[in-house]
Amino acid sequence: AKLDFSAFGLGVSIENAAPVTDIENALELMLKYIQKSEKRLLISVDEVTNSEYIRIFASSFQIFLRNDYPIFLLMTGLYENIYNLQNDKVLTFLYRAPKLILEPLNYTAIRKQYMDIFSLDIDAAGELASLTKGYPFAFQVLGYLYWENRDKKTLEQILPEYDQYLDEYVYSKIWSELSDLDKKIVTEMSLSGETQVKALRERLDMKSELFSVYRERLKRKGVIISKEYGKVTLALPRFDEFVKIQQLM
């Protein structure tokens, strides 16, 4: 019976509106008045996954675009989740959407932050920065722990608590979602320190085609990186230490 848009700064209140039959219909009514008011709508979705609700929403969003409504969408999430979502057979339009893949944080910038905040020399700050591998969560956690313990503990003494944070908040989840063969590859990399793809395949007795499939899987999960031809390295800081502990459990 009534739609009130005053909360959105539009100053519009519609009496005796047409009956709303479903949520999509209600959104279309809203978008028409946003369009008439020459406003634009930005919807942001954080930590997106290929869930039923996201698929329903994305399908509706596609319809809104076709009707030329002034609506925009910004989604963020893990590379693997975005990959799975855009590969859904009914959401292929997402393939055409612009994508920005975030690289690890810049080492020099992290070092500068640590130098400024903790009044460290370039070598000490560099040692801290190298322990993060540019991983944003690690950058925050290590900075927090160093700040809290700067007058009590050395960096070496802080590492066990640093590892605990990474384990509890990130690595245990990542590990639980790896397949047995994923784990086998990562374990071999962690225990041997080997980075050459050819040598890893020989150690694991894997054919090139099979290894390539799992290498791509691990890259999408953000576990490994392959910046040099024929080489792979672990992307996450001190993940090798975490993996070694898993072998003892």
**pLDDT for 9-22, tens place per residue?**
555 556 655 655 67
The pLDDT score that the predictor gives to residue 85 is 87
Residue ranges, comma separated, of all CATH 1.10.10.10 domains in the chain are 177-248
For residue 4, pLDDT over 80 is answered with no
Flag the least confident range among 55-59, 122-126, 240-244.
55-59
pLDDT reported for residue 20: 57
Sign of the dihedral defined by the CA atoms of residues 213, 217, 218, 220, in that order: positive
Residue 94 has what pLDDT? 83
pLDDT band at 147 (very low <50, low <70, confident <90, very high): very high
**Distant-in-sequence contacts of 165-172, Cβ < 8 A, 24+ apart:** 165/141, 166/137, 166/138, 166/141, 166/236, 166/237, 166/238, 166/239, 166/242, 167/242, 169/137, 170/137, 170/236, 171/236, 171/239, 171/242
Tell me what pLDDT residue 215 has. Answer: 95
Q: Does domain 177-248 have CATH number 1.10.3720.10?
A: no
What type of residue sits at position 62?
Q
What local confidence, expressed as pLDDT, does residue 13 receive? 59
What is the spatial distance between Cα 217 and Cα 175, in angstroms, rounded to a whole number?
13
216/224 Cα distance (integer angstroms): 9
